Amino acid sequence: MRRVYMDHSATTPVRSEVAQLVTGYFTETFGNASSVHAYGRDARKGVENAREQIASLIKAKPEEIFFTSGGTEADNMAIIGTVMANRDKGKHIITTQIEHHAVLDTCHYLEKQGFEVTYLPVSDDANIDLNQLKNAIREDTILITIMHVNNEVGTILPIKEVGQIAKEKNIILHVDAVQSFGKIPIDVNEMNIDLLSASGHKIYAPKGIGCLYLRKGIKLSPLFFGGSQERKRRPGTENVPGIVGFGLAAELAGKEMEAESIRLTMLRDKLIDGILEKIPESQLNGSRTKRLPGHVNVSLRYIEGESLLLMLDMKGIAASSGSACTSGSLDPSHVLMAMGICHEIAHGSLRLTLGKINTEGDIDYVLEVLPEIVEKLRSMSPLFNSMQIENREECSKCTLTK
């Protein structure tokens, strides 16, 4: 049976160049990067080279990159670290309702500690209103944290404009760029970004490695204590194999970005058009144009996302419903809810995220299999028969294709 992996926003395979490099750092260049001997110096060289590779992808300086265990840790470190270092200046944080849980749950935690958080609403295509952002800013606002690309629906947020506003008001800006890093251009200076989170496993490097960009001069209280690694911002023996793998993956992503984004945008649009054309009562979630290359999220009315995933899996297709993190719960995705999509339609959402390993043949296969599965599920669905007639009015706003 054909197997098609279309869940690249959840994780990616480690690319072979990276796997090969990493293996060498497990078995041969295995030194502790803090050791003075040759083994240690070789490991240190690998770490510092990776720091340069990563900095160059976002136009930062190498000394502004701090390695972490991944995107979640970078988000926690950025948010908790800046508000703790600036709590004499205020206690107000601005974010959005559609952030990843690594940001949202951190903000909830800080609310319990006495900080106040504004969660900006979003439009029906998951974008923010810059005037709402301006109006939310208070005298005591110390941090704005807004994602670059939404992981569930793929919308690209206007970070450059957000950066302009943050700069004018002299407020620190953190950006969760885990979904955009290595896929679309980022320039931390042009975009006025002060802190940025990225993760290795979303760009064909191993899991458990990520980084935080911290602009020179921005104060950050560490979350961990116990050594002087990463200039005391993130102590603990460096994950050298992960770091060198992340560095190489970042460099290769930069080199291939333009060609790969053209290719993935073409495949993405073919998949979106095919689904909307072949499946009645389907709609695209997120922006049609301000959209990450390779990111598809559709709602298929009268369908239950989880059963759809199981049926696709039986046909060898790996996808997700909403996001991998929310798949475990029965609540509809917080992102789709914030976009104003009604429960029933949010439950029938399907995320297909493309990457390096996907071909046009994969798109054709999904476009052949998916409509058949949907038809089968709909014919068995009690929702289909009753809701088609009764609730059509109520949900009509959601069935518009954007």
Ligand X SMILES: *Cc1c(COP(=O)(O)O)cnc(C)c1O
Which residues are known catalytic residues? 325
CB-based contact 26:241 (threshold 8 Å): yes
Is residue 107 a contact residue for ligand X (CB under 6 A)? no
Q: How far is the CB of 156 from ligand X (least distance, A)?
A: 12
Among 5, 64, 65, 72, binds ligand X (CB under 6 A): 72
Q: Does 147 engage in binding with ligand X (CB under 6 A)? A: yes
Instruction: Find out whether 297 and 350 touch, Cβ atoms under 8 Å.
Output: yes
b/e string for 127-158 if b means 16 or more Cβ within 10 A?
A: bbeeeebeeebeeebbbbbbbbbbbbbbbbbb
Query: Taking a C-beta distance cutoff of 8 angstroms, is the pair 142, 86 a contact?
Result: yes
Assess 179 for contact with ligand X (CB under 6 A). yes
Geometric angle at alpha carbon 119, from 86 and 123, rounded to 5°? 140
Using the rule CB under 6 A, is 210 a contact of ligand X? yes
Q: Which of 151, 155, 353, 381 binds ligand X (CB under 6 A)?
A: 151
Longest dimension (CA), the chain: 75
Spatial separation of the C-alpha atoms in residues 212 and 71, rounded to whole Å: 8
100 binds ligand X per the rule CB under 6 A: yes
Residues 6+ apart with CB under 8 A from 227: 34, 235, 236, 237
Span interacting with ligand X, options 64-72, 117-125, 350-358, 391-399, rule CB under 6 A: 64-72
Q: Nearer to ligand X by C-beta: 59 or 101? A: 101
Please select the residue that binds ligand X; options are 31, 46, 71, 371, rule is CB under 6 A.
71
User: How many whole angstroms separate alpha carbon 147 and alpha carbon 128?
Assistant: 11
The verdict on 199 binding ligand X (CB under 6 A) reads: yes
Nearer to ligand X, 103 or 110 (CB): 103
By the rule CB under 6 A, 178 interacts with ligand X: yes
Alpha-carbon span 392 to 402, nearest angstrom:
18
Q: List the one residue from 7, 12, 31, 70 that touches ligand X (CB under 6 A).
A: 70
When the beta carbons of 201 and 234 are compared against ligand X, the nearer one is 201
Per CB under 6 A, 186 contacts ligand X: no
4-5 and 92-96: which strand pairing?
unpaired
Report the distance separating Cα 181 and Cα 317, nearest Å. Answer: 26
Rounded least distance, CB 325 to ligand X, Å:
8
276, two tokens: 């909307």
Binding window for ligand X (CB under 6 A); candidates: 57-65, 67-75, 312-320, 384-392: 67-75
Taking CB under 6 A as the rule, does residue 102 contact ligand X? yes
Residue nearest to ligand X (CB): 71
Residues 6+ apart with CB under 8 A from 19: 245
145 binds ligand X (CB under 6 A): no
Count of residues of this chain found to bind ligand X when the rule CB under 6 A is applied: 15
Interface with ligand X, residue 245, by CB under 6 A: no
Our finding on whether 355 is near ligand X (CB under 6 A) is no
Footprint of ligand X (CB under 6 A): 70-72, 75, 100, 102, 147, 151, 176, 178-179, 199, 201-202, 210
